[in-house]
Amino acid sequence: MVIVKSHGHCVQRMFGDPLLRHVVAVSVCTFTVILPLTCFNVRHSVYSLWQTDRDREQTRLAAANTRRLQENLAHLRAFNATALCPDNTSDKQPKTWKHLHVAITIITVSRNRHRVEHYETQYLSQVVGRFLYLLNKTISDRTYRLFVCNVDQDPDSYGEMKALPASIPTFERYSQTEKPPKDIFEKEKQDYIFCMEESLKMNPSYVFLVEDDAYPHRHLLPVLEHVIDYHIERRNTIGARNFLHRIVTYVKFYHPERLLGYYSLEAERIPELVGASLVLGTGLFLFYMHFVVAWKPNKVNVTWALCIVYCCLVCVSIGRQNLLELRRLSTHLYQVTPAPSCCTPAMLYTKRGGEMVATHLKGVKCKQYFGKDKALEEIRRREKYVGLLVQPNVFEHIGMYSSVRQSMVDPFAV
């Protein structure tokens, strides 16, 4: 009886502690009510992981594709592309410009032979229309030129290309007589080299290779210029520039969102989670000790630790991908880290970096399970080149059909 009374007394004292009552109440309310209700349809949160309805997700992506297409077809109809490219000839053959800072080249291949329920995706029209809109809207002292690199093996049948504004310069790789490599992965690599080298012939300071299913974010150009200024050319506080093109080889502006979470082997992820938990937890601790309970020196460490753990669990539950969206508040908040190996939808190369990468890629043969992104990573490691990644993504991958694998992709991986 004495033991039972003692145990009951301890339990009563424990639940009589205001701190414990608050921890239990706040945790239950947060993780069983607030976060489930707010993050139910938020991708990459722990509360949306159970959603695996592929048909529903594919329908959502198709609806989003239709909205983007209508918007950008309107841009294409309304936009006079000659305002951006006054030096182009009427036959769409590119010229070399003096003082061209960034050559933006969209690599495209026909996808209209692979219809999804007779639905035309028209990715190229969306991406070109979006770039024309962004370039026309921006105010910059840099010179941009937009190019399209057509690597379709039957270019004459690529109807979507013919609908583009006539003044957009075009690189075309294949003719009726030239046959592409049989291996689709080797073809993709050779196409990439071709588009790189044709872009370099325009004598730009930078080549920005963008695949035709990479849709640019509205903040792309300000972020691009910020990265060039402060991570490649290393502009200092008084505005002077120290050109270090030979140090940075390329910058990735897209990485699959599913690989941007805290559950990753990338070196910055766990320290980032710890740092966010410390900052948020300390703020919550100060608020709690000042406004909720009286300051008790004997419980400072315990309370602080509980606040940090609570904030850590909240961050993990919401998902790193969603917290990264807060960085869009300013171009200065975008994170630039070492680049992982995957993938290549949107890559900025310095002129020297593009020349070196094109040369080395020619000596590598791509095949299944060894695509151009893995080849590029192998070259980077062997030659000790520097690759960077911008986070959050400044492009959205909108492709539902893989032209390399000739099949539909998992809609939850888009």
Tens digits of per-residue pLDDT, 307-338?
999 999 999 999 999 999 999 999 999 999 99
> Which pLDDT score is estimated for 174?
86
Question: Cα torsion for 179, 182, 185, 186, to the nearest 10°?
Answer: -60
| Better-scored residue on pLDDT, 10 or 48 | 48
- Give strand pairing partners of 208: 104, 348
Percent of the chain exceeding pLDDT 90 equals 54
Q: Which residues, other chains included, contact 205 with Cβ-Cβ below 8 Å and sequence gap of 6+? A: 100, 101, 102, 245, 350, 351
- Give strand pairing partners of 172: 150
Token pair of 170, please?
A: 């075009």
DSSP 137-195: H---SS-EEEEEEE--SSGGG-HHHHTS-TTS-EEE---SS----SSHHHHHHHHHHHH
Strands 401-402 and 386-391: unpaired
Q: Is the pLDDT of residue 408 over 60?
A: yes
Fold of 54-261+338-413: Spore Coat Polysaccharide Biosynthesis Protein SpsA; Chain A (3.90.550)
Q: Quick one: which H or E segment has residue 206?
A: strand 204-211
Token pair of 111, please?
A: 């996808």
Domain ranges of the chain: 2-38+262-318, 54-261+338-413
Question: What gap in Å lies between CA 341 and CA 190, rounded to an integer?
Answer: 19
Cis peptide before 392 (omega within 30 of 0): yes
pTM: 0.86
Q: Which residues, other chains included, contact 312 with Cβ-Cβ below 8 Å and sequence gap of 6+? A: 273, 274, 276, 277, 281
Token pair of 385, please?
A: 């080149």
Question: What gap in Å lies between CA 295 and CA 303, rounded to an integer?
Answer: 11
Instruction: Grade residue 292 by pLDDT with cuts at 50, 70 and 90.
Output: confident
DSSP 370: B
Contact 193, 409 (CB under 8 A): no
Mean pLDDT of 51-72: 83
Question: What gap in Å lies between CA 18 and CA 263, rounded to an integer?
Answer: 34
Q: Which residues, other chains included, contact 29 with Cβ-Cβ below 8 Å and sequence gap of 6+? A: none
Strands 401-402 and 407-408: antiparallel
- Please state which of the ranges 4-8, 139-143, 217-221 shows the lowest mean pLDDT: 4-8
Q: Dihedral sign, CA of 91, 92, 94, 95?
A: positive
Read off the pLDDT of residues 133-165 as tens digits, 9 standing for 90 and up. 999 888 888 999 999 999 998 888 888 888 888
Read off the pLDDT of residues 338-383 as tens digits, 9 standing for 90 and up. 999 889 999 999 999 999 999 999 999 999 889 999 999 999 999 9
Q: Is the pLDDT of residue 246 over 60?
A: no
> Which pLDDT score is estimated for 4?
47
